[in-house]
Amino acid sequence: MDMKSNIIFCDVDDITRKHLQDHKIGEKFNCTILQESLNDLSSDALRKLSNVEIISTFVYSRLRGDILENFKNLKLISTRSTGYNNVDAEYCKAHGIKVANVAGYGEITVAEYAMGMLLSLTRNIGFSNNKLRNGIVKVNGDMGIDLSGKTVGVIGTGAIGRHFVGLCHAFGCHILASDPFPNQKLIDDGMCDYVDVSHLLKSSDIISLNCPATKENYHLINKNTIDQMKDGVYIVNTARGELIDSVDLYEAIVAGKIRGAGLDVLDYEDVIIKNDIEALKNNDKNFALYSVINAKLLQLPNVILTPHIAFNSSDAVLRILNTSIQTICDFIEGKSITFVI
**What CATH number does residue 268 fall under?**
3.40.50.720
Residue 340 lies in a domain: no
Is the residue at 341 inside a domain? Answer: no
244 in a structural domain: yes
> pLDDT category, 225, cuts 50, 70, 90?
very high
Percent of the chain residues topping a pLDDT of 90:
74
pLDDT at 254 over 70: yes
Kindly report the CA angle at 274 between 269 and 277, in degrees rounded to 5? 85
Task: Give the model's pLDDT for residue 28.
Answer: 84
pLDDT at 243 (0 to 100): 97
Contacts of 183 (CB under 8 A, 6+ apart): 157, 162, 177
- Residue 288: the pLDDT is 79
Question: Is the per-residue pLDDT at 277 higher than 60?
Answer: no
Task: Check whether residue 76 and residue 130 sit in a common domain.
Answer: no
Residues 60 and 189 in one domain: no
pLDDT at 127: 86
Whether 16 has a pLDDT exceeding 70, the answer reads yes
Section 4-14 average pLDDT: 92
Q: How confident is the model at residue 59 (pLDDT cuts 50, 70, 90)?
A: confident
In a domain, 278, yes or no: yes
Max Cα separation, the chain? 67
Mean pLDDT for 194-215 is: 96
Q: Is the pLDDT of residue 289 over 90?
A: no
**What is the average pLDDT across 201-223?**
95
Burial class (CB in 10 A: 0-12, 13-18, 19+), 101: buried
Same domain, 145 and 288: yes
**264 and 186 both lie in a single domain:** yes
Contact present, 293 and 268 (Cβ < 8 Å): no
pLDDT at 197: 97
For the cut 70, the answer to whether the pLDDT of residue 213 exceeds it is: yes
Per-residue pLDDT band at 273 (split at 50, 70, 90): low
Residues 289 and 141 in one domain: yes
Whether the pLDDT of residue 275 is over 70: the answer is: no
- Do 266 and 140 lie in one domain? The reply is yes
Average pLDDT, rounded, for the chain: 91
Confidence of residue 270 (pLDDT cuts 50, 70, 90): low
pLDDT at residue 39 greater than cutoff 80: yes
Q: Residues 276, 135: contact at Cβ < 8 Å?
A: no
Residues 225, 193 within the same domain: yes
pLDDT of residue 282: 57
| Residues forming beta bridges with residue 261, ordered by sequence position | 235, 303
Please report whether residue 271 resides in a domain. Answer: yes
Does some domain include residue 339?
A: no
- E-state strands within the chain: 6-9, 30-33, 54-57, 76-79, 98-100, 151-155, 174-178, 193-194, 206-209, 233-237, 258-263, 303-305
Task: Specify the number of domains making up the chain.
Answer: 2
Strand partners, 32: 8
| Residue 264, CA atoms < 13 Å, CB-side half-sphere | 22
Domain holding 327, by residue range, is 6-105+314-332
pLDDT tens readout for residues 104-153: 788 999 999 999 999 999 999 988 888 889 898 877 777 899 999 999 99
User: Given this model, what pLDDT does residue 78 score?
Assistant: 97
pLDDT for residue 257 is more than 80? yes
Average pLDDT over residues 206-217: 94
Same domain? 192 vs 299? yes
Based on the domain organization, do 194 and 266 belong to the same domain? yes
Catalytic residues: 240, 269, 308
Position 226 scores a pLDDT of: 98
Report pLDDT digits (tens) over 73-116. 999 999 998 889 899 999 999 999 999 999 878 899 999 999 99
